[in-house]
């Protein structure tokens, strides 16, 4: 496991994330495409997750809800490309309708380890800044820590 690097350069509408996992590319990719596994790691600690739809194939869509004592937070999107090395999808938070980002995740085989690089492109710098200020860093970091635990179990 290597720490998560999150980069959001001032004045740009992008967020880039890099993380290495001590698991094969196939296992890390499966953890991103199998709804049963996704429900075990996606989101910050202390959130309950309900997957309403998760059709992780090119042209498929997804919708899920995170809940805690502060409320319910819904997310949705469309998978535009799902291959053995890359996932391209849209991402929209129900609390910010119409603020859709385009996300590309690339899975690089490092011989038993995997480097995940993702880039989220927002419509505006302001939309990107709002996402970052919403606690994005905590959610990403805790999600990947939880994913490490899922991968360690060999799932």
The overall longest dimension of the chain from CA atoms, in Å, is: 42
DSSP letter string, 35-85: HHHHHHHSS-TT-EEEEEEE--STT-EEEEEEEETTEEEEEEEEEEEE-SS
Whether pLDDT at 33 is above 90: yes
**What is the predicted pLDDT for the residue at 155?**
62
The percent of the chain in helix, strand and coil, each rounded to the nearest 5, is: 30, 40, 30
Ordered by where they begin, the domains of the chain are 5-115+137-152 (3.30.530.20)
pLDDT over 70 percentage in the chain: 98
Whether pLDDT at 2 is above 70: no
């Amino acid at each position: 496991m290597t720490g998560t690097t999150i980069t959001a350069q001032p004045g740009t509408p992008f967020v880039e994330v890099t993380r290495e996992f001590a698991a094969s590319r196939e296992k890390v990719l499966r953890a991103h495409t199998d709804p049963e596994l996704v429900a075990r790691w996606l989101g910050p600690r202390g959130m309950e997750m309900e997957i309403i739809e998760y059709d992780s194939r090119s042209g498929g869509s997804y919708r899920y809800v995170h809940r805690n004592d502060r409320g319910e937070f819904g997310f949705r999107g469309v998978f535009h490309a799902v291959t053995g090395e890359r996932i391209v999808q849209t991402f929209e938070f129900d609390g910010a309708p119409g603020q859709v980002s385009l996300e590309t995740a690339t899975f690089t085989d490092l011989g038993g380890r995997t480097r995940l690089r993702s880039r989220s492109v927002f419509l505006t710098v302001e939309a990107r800044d709002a996402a970052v200020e919403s606690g994005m860093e905590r959610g990403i970091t805790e999600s990947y820590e939880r994913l490490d635990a899922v991968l360690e179990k060999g799932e």
